[in-house]
Amino acid sequence: MALLLSTIHSPYLYTKTKRKRPAATSINAAIARAPFSTDFEKELDIPTAIDDYNHHIGSIDIANQYRASYKIHRKTNRSWLPLFYFFLDASIINAWRIQCIYKQQHQQPVDSQLGFRQKLYQELFAFVAQAARPRPNYQ
């Protein structure tokens, strides 16, 4: 049984996929070769989440490359802060990628990740400065 976490896959969906029998020297040969008996190839029911992972494994590396370029993460002694920094980095990257896709569809020039982050920070700082401005007291 495979363990993985997915927000878009049902654990009950399977897909038929043609698989090759693993080599006799593989670590789990006794277990992995059992469904094949004497066949070299066989169509097996694979959980959809695992099949998607196997076909799109490079996407994880690309996301990590985007995050590694401009990390927000700082060293900390608190156990929850690294998780917060990860989600903050991931949300900024996702927003940038969504903007890139939108601009490509509308034939507009695409901002670099650095340019996007600079605009984002400027707009956030302007929003905070406006919110922190003292309000007139009309009494």
Determine, yes or no, domain membership for 79. yes
User: How many other β-carbons are positioned within 10 Å of the β-carbon of residue 96?
Assistant: 21
Domain that holds residue 110: 58-132
Do 20 and 82 share a structural domain?
Answer: no
- Amino acid at residue number 109: P
Structural domains of the chain, count:
2
Query: Nearest-CA neighbor of 22 among 13, 10, 12, 31?
Result: 31
Max Cα distance, the chain (Å): 89
pTM equals 0.56
pLDDT in tens, 68-113: 888 776 777 788 888 888 888 889 998 999 999 999 999 999 999 9
Instruction: Give me the pLDDT at residue 122, please.
Output: 95
In which element (H, E) is residue 69 found? Answer: helix 57-69
SS3 28: coil
Instruction: Establish if 2 belongs to a structural domain.
Output: no
